[in-house]
Amino acid sequence: MSQPESLSRVRQPRHARGAAPTLHDVAREAGVSLATASRVLNGSERKVAESFREKVELAAAELGYTANVSAQATARGTSPVIALLVADIADPYFGLIAAGVARGADEQGLVVTIAITERDPAREARIVRALRGQRPQGLILAASRTKEPTDSDTARELAEYARFGGRVVTFGAGSAENRHVEIDNRAGAEELGRRMAALGYRSAIAIAAAEGVLTSDERLAGFRAGFDSGGGAIDRVLRGDFRRESGVQAMAAALADGVEPGTLVFGMSDVVAIGAMSAIRDAGREIGADIAVCGFDDVPSSSDVTPALTTVRVPLSEVGYQAFRATVDADWEQAALPLEVAVRASTPGIDR
């Protein structure tokens, strides 16, 4: 039985099975030198006659050849890649940032590669060293920094990367050599603290990351300032990290020590706050009228939990998009990132 006409017209790559075609195969098929084929397919700035370019591109299509990214990086000095380093890909905070970076990369015909640091300085340095060999156009460090902008090993690797033309973008703290995207964590948390005091709350427990983690420190300082200004006070600061499990564990410890009705819990992130809500529920306590909870970031799950979580809305996808633009725009300036408090059912207020 003959194939349908529409299928017979589909050109099948000659190397659909077996070994992948090489640049030598393309050059031989096109009847040009290896150097000419390389210039066409690996992005060399040297000009190639249009007739030769057409032959090479046709041969590559017929053979099913895909250009080698490493070879392109050698020819161009960079690869068509943006590297994004995040602490935890399971955290929706980083997922939303990655979505913004990917949107920008798609606009420019670039590819995003994501690496997970787990907030481990040694691991971060190893990743940056490995990425240097791939010569990405830009490298975005999205995980929260400590008071020292980077670990010394990471700093050395970043300096070497930048020395050969790579652009580094960090979140929060940055050096004079690198661009950085700032979220006004302190101002957002301060407004949240004022709003919670206005709702009648006077006693709060804060669940924070380790001292020295800038995002956590800024949010804690801001919330304290706003809450204090309205007559409230933070009675306990519990330390952990930004994972949900940290919120569960910290809140469980607080409940074991005793938490009075009417207490407000402030999690440094929505993920931490949602973990705290789970511990409150497991202890047989009511979220809202008994123990109120608020967070920061406004990740999608914050409005899906019951009761919905009061938080500070951060345009995280836009943050990621701006970080991408910082890697590719010669005259980049950060645009404003408005933060907004979203009061929901997890903080119903106290009548006084």
For residues 127 and 131, what is the distance between their CA atoms, to the nearest angstrom? 6
Average pLDDT of span 286-313:
97
Amino acid at 45: E
User: Looking at residue 163, what is its pLDDT?
Assistant: 85
Task: Confirm whether 5-74 and 185-314+338-342 share one CATH topology.
Answer: no
pLDDT band at 317 (very low <50, low <70, confident <90, very high): very high
Average pLDDT of span 277-283:
98
Non-local (6+) Cβ contacts of 29 within 8 A are 59, 62, 63
Q: What are the b/e assignments for 100-130, b being 16+ CB within 10 Å? A: bbbebbeeeebbbebbbbebebeebbbbbbe
User: Looking at residue 55, what is its pLDDT?
Assistant: 87
User: Looking at residue 9, what is its pLDDT?
Assistant: 40
pLDDT band at 78 (very low <50, low <70, confident <90, very high): low
What pLDDT, in 10s, does the model give residues 44-67?
Answer: 656 788 888 888 888 888 888 776
Query: For the domain 185-314+338-342, what is the CATH code?
Result: 3.40.50.2300
User: Looking at residue 3, what is its pLDDT?
Assistant: 45
What pLDDT, in 10s, does the model give residues 91-121?
Answer: 999 999 999 999 999 999 999 999 999 888 8
Least confident of 7-11, 31-35, 145-149: 7-11
- Report domain extents, the chain: 5-74, 79-181, 185-314+338-342
For residues 286 and 309, what is the distance between their CA atoms, to the nearest angstrom? 14
Q: Which CATH superfamily does the domain covering 79-181 fall into?
A: Response regulator (3.40.50.2300)
Say which CATH class 5-74 falls into: mainly alpha
User: Looking at residue 71, what is its pLDDT?
Assistant: 52
pTM of the model: 0.79
